[in-house]
Structure 1
Amino acid sequence: MPNFSKAAPLYRDALDMRRRLYPADKYPDGYPDLATSLNNLGFLLKARGEYDEAERFYREALAMDRKLYPADKYPGGYPDLAGILSNVGLLLEARGEYGKAEPFYRDALEMYRRVYPVEKYPSGHPDLARSLNNLGFLLLERGDYGQATDALAESVSMYNRQVGAFTDGGAEAEALNLAASLPGASNKFLAATAHAEEAKPSEQYPVLWQGKSALARSLQHRRRLLHAAADADDATRQRVQTLIGVRQDLARLVLAPARPGDADRAQLVQDLTDKKERLEKELAALLPASDRKTLPYTELADRLPERAAFIDLYRYVDWDNKTRKWDDGHYAVFVLRKDRPIRRVELANAAAIDKGLAEWRDDIVKDLRSNAAARLRKAIWEPIAAVLGEGVDTIYICPDGPLSALPWSALPGDRPNSVLLEDYAFAVVPGGPSLLDQLTAPVPTNRGPGVLLAVGGVRYDRDDYKAGKLWPALPATVKERAGIVAEARKLPHAPEIVERFCAGADVPRLLADLPKARWAHLATHGFFAAPDSKEREHLFRPDDFLLGVGAERRGAAARNPLTLSGLVLAGANQPTDADSGVLSGEAVAGLDLDGMDLAVLSACQTGLGEAAAGEGVFGLQRAFHIGGAKNVVASLWKVDDEATAALMNLFYYHLWEKGEPPLQALHHAQLELYRNPQGVPALARGRGAVDWDETVQTVTKAPVDATETPKRAAAVKDWAAFVLSGAGR
């Protein structure tokens, strides 16, 4: 937190010194440094709530800047002058003097428009976008929702262009810091449009459409361009390989065991982080400039299958003009279908929804009956279903905030004792543009069977070490791996099979195996190092999560959030400096996975990650997608080993033997497990078991009445954890 009491004397000393350096008799118009000191002190006093004294310094700075930058010499104005105009407006707004603040905001805005004209700044400028944001919020506070919407729409669009342009040439961590520094214009835009009369979702959604997960899309696009450039040039290939190596070294070092020499480790981490970011910028400079063109959302509507819908959620807080405070939050939901107008739905009381979700997830894991499920259906699903319309069986969802951890298919259905799984197949996607990219990508033809990488039965110990194990053995994954391999070998055109198990399932081997795989099944522990989790305590140091005063990411894990999720491999119970035994998302994201159709992360919590404003979740799913994997199946919680093996064996039966696309295969496998829990033991034993064929025939047989509730349904915890991310093709 800023220490205002210590800062104030220093600011005053600086001001006094500058008054002596630039006396009025020698500098009748003042001096820029002196005006800056006046502005700085005014800013500090405003932050302390000392508005009257702050105004005195602001007004003096404004008068000085007017003389330093007169209209006859600076007809377009000057950035410093526009800045102090904005600051005076902010002060008056903080005192509730909205009528007095508005002229200052508008003068600052017009000056910024002249200083940063569109022909010189096609992406806009941060100061101009911030000025629009300031004016928009003032109008929101006054209840002038129409004008607020216009100003905030321009601000959001400008910020989106700036983040995109910056990401094209910057480092990932710097782009994240830029996104974190933005003043919440999207949130204010959603709040203003929620109140505006005659608000049209078709005019609102284009403003938001390009911004969600823009960084992830840009990084994925840049990685593809880099690998293409590396194929054509030896020097570029060498630098790309160096970057991949640095990412892997960084991931290894961040997760290395704590030792007395951690000060050296901290410097090494910083050096590697700096090298990674320098290489990212150098390689970005070699690439052609992006045209920054994103197809409109109507293209996605046109490309959606007839029986599919796209649901895009945004969590935001609304301004209460009575209390003069932000409320507990809402979810704005945009619903898109082919040949239908886009609809917007409001989910009120986001805080209650988030709390209910946490309660439900806790009850699911404990296998308890939960009243929270019915509350969540009423709060989330019923408002969406009211505008969804008939004839939908596939739903693509782009969640936001805590709803990234919601098992949609397990929500109660329309019929008593039913679940939504019985009527819909759900897939999550990073954003609408990402889904559009997948739906418009050409389907490869004449591909060979490719390579199946099957991992299971990992040995987490390097010797007979027993005390304090974080990662216990998973004996059921041996059968899980064997069942999937047996299913693959039965195919008419079987893939090449690479099995990794025991001590052979280590990080170096998987880093070499993954880029060659078309199918990757990874049956091992996974983790997300959430705050207060044992994984965070065991794997990271507190200073790995340091943030700066402006919430900029400074610590190693904060600057590299993909290190917070990973897969646990051979030797992880006894990590060494050379091998932590953990394959983190940071290392995965640097790989070339363009040939990977499907990655199945058959491990607990592989679907979770760190949420970042406007960027979704930083986790293993994101890392595999950035690497190029088209579809990723991951889990939202730890699942019983036997239930996991049963679900996965059914999934691959539908995927390969029945030739179903991944989304349909997962949906059918979950539905059949839900309806036939008695089949779990036989299904878990997999192909080769004497009762496999008979059990599969029984559980895959369609019920006479699909609307009939099963006499004994499987527990939610056993089938609903796994979610598919991607288009599911």
Structure 2
Amino acid sequence: MKTKKVFSFFLILTLQSVLSSLNAQSWMELNNKVSEFFKKEKYEKAYKMAEKACLKAENEFGKSSDQFIVSAVNLAEIYRRIGFYNKAEKRLKESIIIFEKKYGKNNPYYASICNNFAVLYSGMGNFPEAETYFTEAKNIRENYFGKKHRYYAESCNNLAELYYSLGNYKKAESLLIESNEIYKKVSKKNKKDPYYAGSCNNLAELYNTTGKYKKAELLLKEAKTIREKIFGKKHPEYALSCVNLAENYLKTKKYKDAEKLFTEAKIIYEKVYGKEHILFANVCNNLAVLYIKTGKSDEAELLLKEAKEIIEKKYGKKHPYYAEICANLAGLYEFAGDNIQDKNKKEGMYKKSELLYYELDGILNSYIRESAKYLSEREREQYLTKKLTDKFNKIYSFFLTKRTENKRIGAVIYSNLLNLKGQLLRSAAAVRKLAVQSGDTVLLNAYDKMNFYGKILNEQNLYPAEQRRSDLKQIKEKLNTAEKELIKNSQIYSEILNKQRISWQFIRMCLKKDEAATEFFSFHYRNNLKQTDSVLYYALVLRSHFQNPEIVFLSEEKQLQNLLRRPPGISEYEYIKNLYDPESTKADSLYKLLWQPLENYLKDVKNVYISPAGLLNRIAFDALPYDKKDILSDKYKIIYMSSTAEITNDSNLYRKNIKNAVLFGGLKYGVKPDVTNKSNSISDSLTRNLSWDYLPGSFDEVKEIQTVMKNAGIKVKLYSGNEGSENRFNELNKNAPDILHISTHGFYFGNDEKNNEYENILNNKVQFVISKNPLLRSGFILSGGNAAFSGKRFYSADEDGVLTAAEISRLNLFKTKLAVLSACQTGLGDIKGYEGVYGLQRAFKMAGTEYLLFSLWSVPDETTKELMINFYKNWLNGQEIRDAFKNAQNQLKEKYKDVPGAAFAWAAFVLLK
């Protein structure tokens, strides 16, 4: 665990009215003794004296006096130092209320109290309150002292440490560098300033975490030298430097040097604070990790047990250190079990490890639920990725390789996936929906600000880096603040989150006898202490009569990658044919890897609800052959879902729910109207400098759909030619139709080495191709879209004819029941962990659409038109939406049954709820 320096404030320099009071001498003497004990780290004596000073101030001057404020703030700080968090919180609360009434908020002392509050809450693991107070203190100090003052630097440092704890390393680094530079300038020759030393220490810890070990070591040695000169070798500040440098040595495998420093710090902490302090527990944990790595298991176990008991007793099981210790102790027992031959002893060790992993799993899930109440989407993504995912990987790796006989494991992992899978998407969509439907002016204002700054950010990110606004960093901050403001002001948001917490038992209750739920998942396999390069794919199968979900191993990702890799020079048609043709060996391999292992659990099943994960998002399961002539869609009705949790609120969608529709198709893109086919690949277009040609089949498609809809009594608007502009599309915001059908060119540029070639071709002009944001690398081409890709007109107006997924994600389409993305590869995108595909399908889900119809590969115009017309006829004639779509596919299957590679024609599209 990392030990970092946050700067709290002890009010040794008291308020002016206190200094001028002639009646305060006896209290002043008492307060000076408190200060003296505090400086010498004699906290046991200090807090008893401080309690007397606080009581004396209250009795002689009253609770509204400056004497009482000073005494209470100082007492709270001493309480915090010795671990009396609840007492500290109580004193700070009464102090800040009194101070604000007397002096207001724009005051450096008020900022100091805010800062102390934040340090306290950070130590308690209450990150949302900590951020609120740290930010308030920073803003006050900036206004009062300016950006070159050490108090402002202190606030930068403290806020950075909070962001570090949440995995937001980029934001933390920026603040730490700013803080360090200020301290350099205000310190006298940089040699004896404890604040500069603390700043060096914290920046080094960030470098340690991000793998910049040499940089970290130099800063840590500098900090240690300064602290030794100022405090000596028996002071906690010196001990802190020992711990931090030891952590660096632990990372770089200098184990002897690390052990010496950890041991030195442990002795200091025990003498100064005793054995029940958080810093003592922390160094015990770190030393234990060292002993695990060096084979001293018995010593490690004793230290971890001691640290666990301290944290649980004084800070509770929700403290981040407690989770860290549980993970380390579980790993220790697992490692011991791996190396014991005796079966009974091995089982004993694994049982201990299992219980700790169960406990850890519960804690991690509580962290995820809490983080959704105060972190923005981007912050939660970083928190999950950098702070929690590795621990989940440890849990899964242990359970799925060493506890396979335990039926409870399937239930635990299923519960995790219901909490984790698409969590960011679900919560982001929920809070947006709440805002737009609430009518609350505060929520709507926050929502509008979020969209305003998001739009600016999206537009700026489409410029080459050198042409972007200089205040882009501030725009990002404003966007982040607006999103968090929206979350915090949503009083019923927590109720929405609770409703989203679906149990696997409830899903089981909703399943019919002939139905099964299949939740796919993948994780990075860890061989206990070692991270491997293996990503393993599993499925959880649930039926109405199962006592627990069944766990089924499928494949290692490398096997899937090999099967799904498209050889150079092969056409897309040939590639898809090889993947899905019943005679193909690749198709047979795919079936044996991904579906055959499930068959034992699917006896007498007709409907299979599936939620893909990772690379499985690119598989058309309906088209997988299970023998030389039959495919899965002949045997099962496969129903795609973002999460099988949606089974619990699944509802049928019929014609009676539809009143209006908007269609886009037959668009003119602003260059020569060469006739082409929508199945042309993006790579083909690149050789023509990314120009997009007119699609006559697209116009035929939407015209026929318009006729079908009008005949069904649906009000239809059709935009074609130059009318299908980006502005026209944006008019749908807050005025969304029931059906939105888009027939045009779609694009998705992967985040891979191919983009380097694209960048050279385009001379770094088209950010749609090379952006780091996957929602900017996918989208639609609307009327006039060629200008943006040719560089002839460069984002000089509100619209450029290119509608990115990022832009779509900020629209209000919550009334839209179906969005049909009738373009090439609209289902593709970057794949990110538990969140799935980052592309157009995510964008439309964030915007609020209920159902999506998208494609996994490029499809010829004529075939697409047939599928769409058949689908709408089926649906608008009374069939339920899923049946209508399946029947439309079956109609094409029947038509092309004797054509080699028939799946290319009918299986590309997926209907997803």
**Is the Cα–Cα contact under 8 Å of residues 620 and 907 in structure 2 kept in the other structure?**
yes
| Match status 1:86 vs 2:291 | no
| Match status 1:640 vs 2:860 | yes
Superposition pairs of residues 166-315 of structure 1, within 5 angstroms: 166-183=371-388, 184-194=390-400, 195-196=402-403, 198-200=405-407, 201-229=410-438, 231=439, 233-256=440-463, 258=464, 262-265=465-468, 267-288=470-491, 290-291=494-495, 292-293=497-498, 294-315=501-522
**Shift in Å at residue 647 of structure 1?**
1.5
| Match status 1:60 vs 2:254 | no
Q: Equivalents in 1 of 2:850, 2:640: separation in Å?
A: 12
User: Which residue is equivalent to 2:523?
Assistant: 316
**Is the Cα–Cα contact under 8 Å of residues 356 and 372 in structure 1 kept in the other structure?**
yes
**Is the Cα–Cα contact under 8 Å of residues 446 and 483 in structure 2 kept in the other structure?**
no
Q: Equivalents in 2 of 1:464, 1:408: separation in Å?
A: 37
**Is the Cα–Cα contact under 8 Å of residues 594 and 629 in structure 1 kept in the other structure?**
yes
Q: Which residue identity is paired with 2:628?
A: P
**Shift in Å at residue 601 of structure 1?**
0.8
**Shift in Å at residue 395 of structure 1?**
1.9
**Is the Cα–Cα contact under 8 Å of residues 145 and 193 in structure 1 kept in the other structure?**
no
Q: Equivalents in 2 of 1:648, 1:445: separation in Å?
A: 16
User: Which residue is equivalent to 1:573?
Assistant: 786
User: Which residue is equivalent to 1:426?
Assistant: 638
User: Which residue is equivalent to 1:705?
Assistant: none
Q: Equivalents in 1 of 2:587, 2:364: separation in Å?
A: 38
User: Which residue is equivalent to 2:108?
Assistant: none
Q: Which residue identity is paired with 2:376?
A: A
Query: Could you list the per-position Cα deviations for residues 30-69 of structure 1 after superposition, in whole angstroms to 9, with x for gaps in the alignment?
Result: 22x3222111211111211211112211221222222232
**Is the Cα–Cα contact under 8 Å of residues 251 and 587 in structure 1 kept in the other structure?**
yes
Q: Which residue identity is paired with 1:138?
A: L
User: Which residue is equivalent to 1:529?
Assistant: 749
**Is the Cα–Cα contact under 8 Å of residues 487 and 652 in structure 1 kept in the other structure?**
yes
User: Which residue is equivalent to 2:320?
Assistant: 126
The Cα RMSD (Å) is 3.1
Q: Max radius of gyration: which structure?
A: 2
**Is the Cα–Cα contact under 8 Å of residues 520 and 600 in structure 1 kept in the other structure?**
yes
1:40 to 234, 244, 255: 244
Query: Any gaps of 5 or more consecutive residues in structure 1?
Result: 72-76, 119-123, 546-555, 678-709
**Is the Cα–Cα contact under 8 Å of residues 534 and 557 in structure 2 kept in the other structure?**
yes
Greater shift after overlay, 106-115 or 166-175?
106-115
Q: CA separation of 1:94/1:569 partners in 2, compared to 1, >3 Å: closer, same or farther?
A: farther
Q: CA separation of 1:480/1:203 partners in 2, compared to 1, >3 Å: closer, same or farther?
A: same
Q: Equivalents in 1 of 2:244, 2:565: separation in Å?
A: 44
User: Which residue is equivalent to 1:511?
Assistant: 730
SS at match of 2:813: coil
**Is the Cα–Cα contact under 8 Å of residues 320 and 327 in structure 1 kept in the other structure?**
no
Q: Equivalents in 1 of 2:394, 2:745: separation in Å?
A: 41
Query: Could you list the per-position Cα deviations for residues 474-503 of structure 1 after superposition, in whole angstroms to 9, with x for gaps in the alignment?
Result: 221111111211111111xx2211112222
**Shift in Å at residue 196 of structure 1?**
1.0
User: Which residue is equivalent to 1:403?
Assistant: 616
| Match status 1:488 vs 2:701 | no
**Shift in Å at residue 470 of structure 1?**
3.7
User: Which residue is equivalent to 2:61?
Assistant: none
Q: Equivalents in 1 of 2:242, 2:216: separation in Å?
A: 14
Q: CA separation of 1:125/1:633 partners in 2, compared to 1, >3 Å: closer, same or farther?
A: farther
Task: Name which structure has the greater RCO, CA cutoff 8 Å, separation 6+.
Answer: 1
Q: Which residue identity is paired with 1:483?
A: E
**Is the Cα–Cα contact under 8 Å of residues 654 and 880 in structure 2 kept in the other structure?**
no
**Is the Cα–Cα contact under 8 Å of residues 146 and 192 in structure 1 kept in the other structure?**
no
**Is the Cα–Cα contact under 8 Å of residues 187 and 317 in structure 1 kept in the other structure?**
yes
Query: Any gaps of 5 or more consecutive residues in structure 2?
Result: 1-209, 338-348, 579-583, 675-684, 789-793
2:693 to 472, 477, 480: 472
Q: CA separation of 1:372/1:447 partners in 2, compared to 1, >3 Å: closer, same or farther?
A: closer
**Is the Cα–Cα contact under 8 Å of residues 673 and 714 in structure 1 kept in the other structure?**
no
User: Which residue is equivalent to 1:74?
Assistant: none
Q: Equivalents in 2 of 1:446, 1:601: separation in Å?
A: 19
User: Which residue is equivalent to 1:618?
Assistant: 838
User: Which residue is equivalent to 1:694?
Assistant: none
Q: CA separation of 1:331/1:534 partners in 2, compared to 1, >3 Å: closer, same or farther?
A: closer
Q: CA separation of 1:670/1:240 partners in 2, compared to 1, >3 Å: closer, same or farther?
A: same
Report the TM-score, using the length of structure 1 for normalisation: 0.83
**Is the Cα–Cα contact under 8 Å of residues 360 and 372 in structure 1 kept in the other structure?**
no
**Is the Cα–Cα contact under 8 Å of residues 454 and 522 in structure 1 kept in the other structure?**
yes
**Shift in Å at residue 174 of structure 1?**
0.8
2:817 to 589, 597, 619: 597
**Shift in Å at residue 313 of structure 1?**
1.4
Query: Could you list the per-position Cα deviations for residues 120-150 of structure 1 after superposition, in whole angstroms to 9, with x for gaps in the alignment?
Result: xxxx233322332222333333334433333
**Shift in Å at residue 70 of structure 1?**
0.7
**Shift in Å at residue 226 of structure 1?**
1.2
Q: CA separation of 1:154/1:582 partners in 2, compared to 1, >3 Å: closer, same or farther?
A: farther
Superposition pairs of residues 370-449 of structure 1, within 5 angstroms: 370-390=584-604, 392-413=605-626, 415-436=627-648, 438-439=649-650, 449=658
Q: Equivalents in 2 of 1:722, 1:597: separation in Å?
A: 17
Q: Equivalents in 1 of 2:753, 2:881: separation in Å?
A: 32
2:875 to 630, 646, 655: 655
Q: CA separation of 1:500/1:138 partners in 2, compared to 1, >3 Å: closer, same or farther?
A: farther
Q: Equivalents in 2 of 1:463, 1:81: separation in Å?
A: 73
User: Which residue is equivalent to 1:721?
Assistant: 908
1:142 to 331, 336, 342: 336
2:721 to 498, 502, 510: 502
| Match status 1:7 vs 2:216 | yes
**Is the Cα–Cα contact under 8 Å of residues 193 and 204 in structure 1 kept in the other structure?**
no
Q: Which residue identity is paired with 2:486?
A: L
Q: CA separation of 1:198/1:589 partners in 2, compared to 1, >3 Å: closer, same or farther?
A: same
**Shift in Å at residue 417 of structure 1?**
1.9
Q: Equivalents in 1 of 2:358, 2:781: separation in Å?
A: 44
Greater shift after overlay, 279-288 or 369-378?
369-378
Q: Which residue identity is paired with 1:147?
A: K
User: Which residue is equivalent to 2:146?
Assistant: none
Q: Which residue identity is paired with 1:210?
A: N
Greater shift after overlay, 598-607 or 471-480?
471-480
| Match status 1:21 vs 2:226 | no
Q: Equivalents in 2 of 1:461, 1:38: separation in Å?
A: 66
**Shift in Å at residue 444 of structure 1?**
8.8
Superposition pairs of residues 150-161 of structure 1, within 5 angstroms: 150-161=355-366
User: Which residue is equivalent to 1:451?
Assistant: 660
Q: Equivalents in 2 of 1:432, 1:136: separation in Å?
A: 31
Q: Equivalents in 1 of 2:911, 2:705: separation in Å?
A: 18
Q: Equivalents in 1 of 2:886, 2:335: separation in Å?
A: 46
**Is the Cα–Cα contact under 8 Å of residues 510 and 647 in structure 2 kept in the other structure?**
no
**Is the Cα–Cα contact under 8 Å of residues 592 and 628 in structure 1 kept in the other structure?**
yes
**Shift in Å at residue 394 of structure 1?**
2.3
SS at match of 2:358: helix
Q: Which residue identity is paired with 1:565?
A: S
Q: How many residue pairs are counted as aligned between the two chains?
A: 653
**Shift in Å at residue 265 of structure 1?**
0.6
2:253 to 49, 63, 66: 49
Q: CA separation of 1:356/1:11 partners in 2, compared to 1, >3 Å: closer, same or farther?
A: same
Q: Which residue identity is paired with 1:425?
A: K
More helix by share: 2
**Shift in Å at residue 435 of structure 1?**
4.0
Report the TM-score, using the length of structure 2 for normalisation: 0.67
